[in-house]
Amino acid sequence: MKKKSIPLEEISNLKTMSEQNMDYLEEFDLFERGGGNNTIRIDWFLGNTCDYSCTYCTPDNYDGSSPWPDLEVFKNFVNTATNYYNYRNKIVRWYLLGGELTLWRDFDKALEIINNAGTLNNTVSIQSNGSRTVRWWKKNAHLMSEILFSYHPEQADYKHLTKVVNALYLEGVHNLSVQVCFYPKLEELCFEAAEYFLENLKCGGRVGMKPLQKTLGTEETFVYEDHVKIRMQYIESLELKGGVDTISGEWVVNPFTGSGAYASNLSIDKKTPDIMYWVNTTTGKRVYADDNDLTHHRRNHWKGWDCNIGIEKINVESSGYLVSGSHCGEENSSFGHIIKPEFIKFPTQSTVCRWDWCPCGSDIATTKSKRHIR
């Protein structure tokens, strides 16, 4: 099929963001995954029971109204999806979401099911607030490939979270990350936590400083003053001490606090599927794209571009229905339900983005092109 270019006028109709940055859309025609396309990411919202109730979070993310799935239903869907994608030589990257997943009494059994499924080395990643005891995390460390911890300043203890992360690192879970949910009303506490993480975390990588929407999933974001954004971005540029043995960097002094940390641009070359790059396919120019940076600079919009949502990533909603994406999935019809996995019709075609901007990090981390992909 002949590739068709999409006119720039079609992708420039933005009305929901006040500080659009269109320069990258003019210069580049491809937004691609650094780790290739031999994986499928499955984001699964398992339930909404949580021990936190943050101001910037809606009750449907923590009030317990969506129960955890039946373990047998969980197993049947995991096996069906794994077999489907493994047969096509795709590794399944399971991303389990909540609520706070570690509160599910069968969570360890669910992790064992995923670890025992399929013929390829599938991975299991979770998001957590890290509130469970260090003992709990050490007991279940062997069942998880990757953990993204979110520090919520209203209710979390950043020193406890540091102990949890360090214990997991010593247990052999090295794909760990911590992001500070930056709530403007607790600005100094957020920076205090971030500085503590920089000084005390044993894992590698960087501390994420996550800009927040006033209500999750909506278009209105908190307003961050320029000096705050500069400080947030500076912290994100610093490597954690635990990563020094794997990167080449130099020790720099934080001008805001006087503390030191390693800074390096080499971490952007790690070949993981969610590392994204802007590409000009004519000149060959290739530029690393960080998802938080995209939000800071208002570059997270691809309206009119072809997107591999549904091919590189699918979502399982709390209802059990399957859709192509977290945010854009709302407008897409379901292609199946976990209750009847044998009837699921997994997507095979890219789709044209109809949204003014993309608020979801995992939706962002899928290949997008000005030209039709397939």
Question: What would the two tokens of residue 43 be?
Answer: 């984001």
For residue 139, the Cα-to-chain-centroid distance in whole angstroms is 25
Look at residue 185 and give its three-state secondary structure. Answer: helix
The per-residue pLDDT for range 261-291, each reduced to its tens digit, is: 444 443 433 335 678 899 999 999 999 887 6
For all residues of the chain together, what is the average pLDDT?
Answer: 83
Mean pLDDT of 233-238: 91
d(CA 321, CA 346): 12
The pLDDT of residue 373: 65
Q: DSSP code of 371?
A: B
What percentage of the chain has pLDDT greater than the value 70? 81
What pLDDT is attached to residue 294? 79
Q: Cα–chain-centroid distance for residue 150?
A: 11
Band the pLDDT of 357: cuts 50, 70, 90: confident
- For 339, residues 6+ apart whose C-beta sits below 8 A from its C-beta are 73, 320
Where does residue 99 fall: left (phi above 0), alpha (psi -120 to 50 degrees), or beta otherwise?
left
pLDDT of 262 reads 43
Domain locations in the chain as residue ranges: 8-369
Q: What is the pLDDT of residues 104-138, one digit of tens each?
A: 999 999 999 999 999 888 899 999 999 999 999 99
Asked if pLDDT for residue 15 goes beyond 50, the answer is: no
- pLDDT, one tens digit per residue, over 238-268 is 988 775 443 344 444 444 444 544 444 434 3
- State pLDDT tens for residues 323-355: 998 767 555 589 999 999 999 999 999 988 888
Residue-level pLDDT at 11: 31
- What's the one-letter identity of residue 317? E
In this structure, the dihedral spanned by the alpha carbons of residues 197, 154, 18 and 301, taken in order and rounded to 10 degrees, is: 60
Give the pLDDT score at 218. 57
pTM of the model: 0.80
8-369: which CATH topology?
TIM Barrel (3.20.20)
| Per-residue model confidence (pLDDT) at position 355 | 83
The secondary structure of 198-266 as a DSSP string is HHH--S-SBEEEE--BSSTTSSPBPP--HHHHHHHHHHHTEEPGGGGGGS--EEEE-TTTS-EEEE-SG
Tens of pLDDT, residue by residue over 291-305, are: 667 776 778 888 889
